Amino acid sequence: MTVFSTPHFDDHEQVVFASDAATGLKAIIAVHNTHRGPALGGCRMWAYGSEEEAIADALRLARGMTYKNALADLPWGGGKSVIIGDAKTDKTPELMQAMGVAVERLGGRYIVAEDVGTNPDDMVAVHKHTDHVRGVKGEGFDPSPATAFGCFVGVKASVQERLGRTSLQGLRVAVQGLGHVGYDLARQLSEAGADLVVSDMDDAALARARAELGAESVGLDQIYAQDVDVFAPCALGAVLNDETIPKLKARIVAGSANNQLAEDRHGQALADKGVLYAPDYVINAGGVIHIFHEGPDYDKQTAFAHVGRIAETLTAIYERARAAGVPTHVAADRLAEERFGKAA
Ligand code: NAD
């Protein structure tokens, strides 16, 4: 088993293997970079096929959080933890408590939150042994409205950049996925005067969007080829790929889904086609920004004003991409690296 020689190792500051025989905990905590502050990142529980897979995931996701937190202008570095196991069958409150002990041992260098396979209840168990946790049930708030608002201001900044207009009135937007984020984004777009085309496998969500937002609904595979100005992926990862990019008629891709580019080269493919891509980890940072503001002193106006700055960050990224002649996801990475001091 290797760490330093895996392709995902990127000078991570610390990688900890944590175990607890009594509860069966087997976890990896990866701290990528703490130049800006403690490393914040979720705890994923997944039935990995091998330990190598779990290490690769922890390293990759921790690095991603450094970039995301830096561009969200948070005083946090990037980290991530993974618990090896099936969240449906292997997870117990005792195991999550043992995870809390493991997090506490890092003395605050890593702050844990929920992720795939964990939830706010699990963070209550973690919280029994450490204060270095966010999104604890009862204290936490739903991050989705903040994520949706960040996407809304991100769409507006992207429209300003590519179409040179400040109003969304009469623009056509295709929203893929009407879940917690997608529906709220669709509602804000509709209120701003945009016309919507939507897709989801949930017929009730589609019916609601038709009735409440006047949206047109189309089949799952039809959403890519719609004659729209903006495509907003709010469902799945890897939706920008060799099959879908040739179909796109939108001049802008801006939505909440994580890991939208199937591969890095698809960012270049979008740029070659003249499509402006709002890097996903920048436009969907509203949730993590909101997590930062949670707590006894929570002030919604302050939190949402911070989320609103996603628009300025995207505009700065677009300017840099234009000046340097690089795709927007490359310009975003470079700006993040300046902010967290990669060279240092
Ligand atoms: P969700 O589970 O509430 O909603 C996802 C929706 O997508 C569901 O309605 C589902 O039926 C639909 N869907 C699934 N497959 C689809 C397909 N092939 N075509 C069309 N629709 C499909 O999830 P969410 O919280 O709204 O998050 C949406 C995306 O945004 C995810 O990729 C998530 O990782 C990302 N994200 C969410 C947040 C947040 O605060 N919730 C923060 C950052 C990123």
DSSP 230-267: EEEE-S-SS-BSTTTGGG---SEE----SS-BSSTHHH
Ligand 1 near 280 CB (within 6 A) = no
Ligand 1 near 177 CB (within 6 A) = yes
Half-sphere exposure of 47 (CA within 13 A, CB side): 6
- What tokens were used for 304? 């949402």
pLDDT in tens, the chain (344 residues): 689 999 999 999 999 999 999 999 999 999 999 999 999 999 999 999 999 999 999 999 999 999 999 999 999 999 999 999 999 999 999 999 999 999 999 999 999 999 999 998 999 999 999 999 998 877 667 889 999 999 999 999 999 999 999 999 999 999 999 999 999 999 999 999 999 999 999 999 999 999 999 999 999 999 999 999 999 999 999 999 999 999 999 999 999 999 999 999 999 999 999 999 999 999 999 999 999 998 888 999 999 999 999 999 999 999 999 999 999 999 999 999 999 997 54
Q: Do β-strands 195-199 and 216-217 pair in parallel, antiparallel, or remain unpaired?
A: parallel
Cα 19 versus chain centre, distance: 28
* 17 C-alpha to ligand 1 centroid (Å): 31
* 237 C-alpha to ligand 1 centroid (Å): 9
Number of Cβ within 10 Å of residue 206's Cβ equals: 18
| Residues 155, 252: Cα–Cα separation, whole Å | 8
Ligand 1 near 176 CB (within 6 A) = yes
Domains of the chain: 14-68+77-127 (3.40.50.10860), 144-340 (3.40.50.720)
- What tokens were used for 136? 């604890």
Q: pTM of the entire structure?
A: 0.94
- What tokens were used for 158? 């992207």
DSSP state of 296: T
Q: Are 200 and 223 in contact (CB under 8 A)?
A: no
Ligand 1 near 69 CB (within 6 A) = no
So what's the pLDDT on residue 44? Answer: 96
Nearest-5° angle of CA 291, CA 292, CA 298?
A: 85
Q: Are 196 and 183 in contact (CB under 8 A)?
A: no
Q: Are 147 and 286 in contact (CB under 8 A)?
A: yes
Closest alpha carbon to 69 in 99, 102, 105, 31: 31
So what's the pLDDT on residue 142? Answer: 83
* 256 C-alpha to ligand 1 centroid (Å): 8
So what's the pLDDT on residue 26? Answer: 98
Q: Which ligand 1 atom is nearest residue 179's CA?
A: 4
Burial class of residue 182 (count of CB atoms within 10 Å of its CB; 0-12, 13-18, 19+): buried
Q: Which ligand 1 atom is nearest residue 143's CA?
A: 40
Q: Are 339 and 320 in contact (CB under 8 A)?
A: no
Cα 16 versus chain centre, distance: 24
Give the three-class secondary structure for 227. coil
So what's the pLDDT on residue 90? Answer: 97
Q: Which amino acid is residue 16, in one-letter code?
A: V
- Spatial neighbors of 43 by CB under 8 A, at least 6 apart, are 27, 80, 81, 82, 83, 99, 112, 113, 114, 115, 118, 122, 126
* 28 C-alpha to ligand 1 centroid (Å): 26
**C-alpha distances in Å from residue 152, one per residue of 30, 159, 188, 283, 321:** 32, 11, 7, 9, 21
So what's the pLDDT on residue 1? Answer: 66
